[in-house]
Amino acid sequence: MVSQFSFYCMKLPILILCSLLFISCSDEKDDYVDVPLEFEIPSNFPILSYNTNLNPLTQKGFELGKKLFYDGRLSSDGVISCGFCHIQENAFTHHGHTVSHGVNNAAGTRNAQPIQNLAFQSTFMWDGASDHLDLQPIIPLTSPIEMDGNISEILAMLKSDKEYKNLFANAFPDGQITSEHMLQALSQFMVMMVSSNSKFDKFRRNEPGGILTSDESAGFALFNLKCASCHATDLMTDNSFRNNGLAINPAVNDVGRFRVTELPEDYYKFKVPSLRNVEKTAPYMHDGRFGSLESVLNHYNSGIADSPTLDPILKKNGNLGIPLSTAEKQQLIAFLKTLTDHQFLTDKRFSEF
């Protein structure tokens, strides 16, 4: 449930966060049913960041997490679920929305990030406000302009629901309905959301369907030359925070990573997004300012705004940006489209219905 209003997390008292994780709201349980869920790391992926030994994946835990993900009753208006702003066919982004809309149609300042391959990441949100997947959902759940949920009321609702009582009983050894178990179940669902079967993946693994066209191959070569230093590994991100030269919007003045670290060198730095399924995740950048891949490449070619924290890669020999010809832009886009994982975008395991 990766969304755009991370600054609300910074104001939550640590003691409240800690206490919420251990509130128990169920005295009833069925016999615990432990059905391990198989998780395979794709051969072209790096190792996991998420420790599944501390939250073992099970079928019932996954089912519980999925039900929670799509349940609008976790929000104050009973409508806005995690899945409201994270739509599967768009790699679980809020396609078409510059910034996502929460309860009472409230809007924030950041674009909803895709949910994919989160188990391979160690920081979340555009500014890295969360460093553990189990804790990340607290931010959108409690944000007054996202879901505006109340943890105590959510737990009371879960306790009163027979299906939830059975799911918790079967998903966890103690069967208790707690905020800790609720967050762990959401993590189990999101950990399983692995996108690794695009045309590019098949090319990398030398599988059928992985032959690149001449334009795609040329685009891949350009990508390795001009983009892969930030969009690294087959995850297509190095998970770092960088200032990529976006002109500052004075109406918002989003300072990015600085909001979390308060280090001057982190002004206007945002997490490098994965480019997987990028064809389907418009609009782009933390504030959704670009509506097309062409606009993104035009920015890197000729739209870079200089500033003290601008990434050095974008200011080599005193020249701003990454020079790209019209033909090179077309080839890069052809390659980027090979990152679309249609299997992931239609996988019934992750669908609401």
pTM equals 0.90
Is 70 exceeded by the pLDDT of residue 25? no
Question: What's residue 32's pLDDT?
Answer: 67
Is 60 exceeded by the pLDDT of residue 15? no
Q: How far apart are CA 119 and CA 50, in angstroms?
A: 5
Q: How far apart are CA 49 and CA 118, in angstroms?
A: 9
Q: How many Cα atoms are found within 13 Å in the side-chain-facing hemisphere of 310?
A: 20
- What number is the average pLDDT over the span 108-122? 95
The continuous run of DSSP H or E covering 23 comes out as none
- What number is the average pLDDT over the span 317-339? 97
From residue 254, alpha-carbon distances to 7, 308, 311 in Å are 10, 16, 17
Nearest to residue 147, comparing CAs of 65, 84, 95, 87? 84
Nearest to residue 38, comparing CAs of 62, 66, 68? 62
pLDDT band for 7, please (50, 70, 90 cuts).
Answer: very low
pLDDT band for 224, please (50, 70, 90 cuts).
Answer: very high
Worst-scoring range by mean pLDDT, 5-9, 49-53, 164-168, 197-201? 5-9
Instruction: For the chain, list the domains and their CATH numbers.
Output: 6-195 (1.10.760.10), 199-343 (1.10.760.10)
Is 80 exceeded by the pLDDT of residue 129? yes
